[in-house]
Structure 1
Amino acid sequence: MRENRHKGGQDKFFYLTKLPYIHEIELGVASHDQFVSGDWVVAETRYGVDLVRILGLAKSYSEKSESKRHTSRILRESTTVDFEEMESNNQLSIVYEDICREKIIYRKLDMKLIKVHILHGRSKVIVFFTAEQRVDFRDLVRDLVAEFHTRIELRQIGVRDETRSLGGIAMCGREYCCHKINDQLKPATIKMVKDQSLSLNSSKISGGCGRLLCCLAYESDTYAQSRNELPSEGSIILLENIRYRVSEVHILTQEVTVVNCEDSAIKPFKVQVKNFRYQSNDNCWIETKDSEKGKEHTTKKLVMTPCGCARPEGTRCKGCTSQL
């Protein structure tokens, strides 16, 4: 717990807080560590004073000082009155959204309304929208000020921010990662798609926002690390003193597809390469010996058992009692 304190004399405790209406995560600073995950507090967010939800204590101060997240000050714990006001504001924001859409259509503005949020205390109304180009919304602001009689702030966000804010179900069957897990939107590239041996079909590698899937960036480091431990395409593998060339790498299964360098009539096949190492003298990958058991791992021939399953030669089949 001491790692969460400020280096100065007064203790400061850092929490991860979530803004529910835009699904952004900020660093909240409090004078005590009594808050737990799920608590609601009133904090000075980057948009203004509002209710936020505690996700938990943040990490050490040295790590947080390098964070790009906005730091907000936690004012107090929320009360029943705060929740009643939040519910009232949420209902009122639905009415405000309809009014905003009417004003946007009236002004013939090329913009898409995403969400309207009313800050705690109704000190300000924030209008989130997307647009392909820069929009002159000064007349719209004047219309909304005359209608709502409060401060109006229009914020243009990107399509990825829109998806994070609204949420949805991804092709994997789970909620969007940016909405449920992490608000830090890492850039994904076509190179990541190729490194992970995925199809370049845009419908299969694009998320609900129309951009490349965020999970491509999340898994990129894992794929890069695994690829460094495997033979690359074009490498030579030595199996039973026969040279084979790697034609395809299967990172998830730790296998490679190889073709015979001398006899093209032999069909390509897959080889497990967990126990292979690179030998620079021969410029090829060879099988290693098991240091614990003292015997060499070799690729065993597959034969058919009486029950019809394929098993390595010399092993027992679970479906029958015969030994091969």
Structure 2
Amino acid sequence: MFVLHPDPFLLPAYRISPFQTMHLAQNAALETNDFASAYFDQRFGKNQWQYTLNGREAIRLALQNYNLQPTDLVTILTTSENFYISSCVTKTIEAFCQWNRTLSSATKLILVNHEFGYPHPEMEKLKASGLPIIEDCCTTFFSQDVQNKVGQYGDFSTYSFPKFFPIQIGGLIVANSGYSTSLTSQMSPIEKQYLEKVMSYYLMQSSDLLSQRKANFDYAHQAFQSLGFSLRFPKYDHVVPSALLLNNHQQILDLPLLKDYLAQHGIQSSVFYGEDAFFIPCHQNLCRADIDYFVEVITAFKQQTIHG
């Protein structure tokens, strides 16, 4: 049994991020460890990466390299080609110049958002255009394409740690050939030390993390498929989604109302605006009972809206 319509002061807290309250104490108690630096040196190249406060700052630091003027145009492209894009991205660009969603003769720079962990399918074609590229890999830390080149197509790639790890801050900017990472982050030395030890701890467990994420995703996929929902993107072995993005198939007529209902039950979610789809948490720190709770809450909402 799960309690529905709980007292607002007794809500559970299910986030898109795997961070939970217990990780405050757990992360604070970790011992100093430099595994993360060695990992990033091997993966991205020594002196080619640096920590940032978050993914937004990583994008900002990348944009600073292009001498953008207020009238310049950055074109944002996403995996789905839907117009949905986080305001974290658009507001960061607006501090420099204008943005749009379609390539044109006025495009000075392409920002590719590898969406929900799913790589953009036409990176080779975009690279062949000759335009500068920034790859937004904030939801694509573990995912790759068949060429194993995600994060290497552009001048820069940017990452956000809380999308995959139980941590409250942290990101990464990676500079590819011809660029330097000697960019000024607002991160303090103590924050950098914290990031290093926490990321070291979780990166050392990445195999178990990925195994549990996959098991939870597969279980959730089957559970919601039985309710008539389907995955918005196909499953690929080399893709690690950042959330469970579901096609609604017009089963729920008011998805914004569902979002509110889920929040009233402690579940972070959002509508995939512009499509008949929505997304909910699906990460390594869930158990099957948590996913069953999501199913029961959404089932209750469907029944409530059907019967009034």
TM-score by length of 2: 0.24
Q: Which has the higher strand share?
A: 1
Bigger relative contact order (CA 8 A; separation at least 6)? 2
Q: Which has the higher helix share?
A: 2
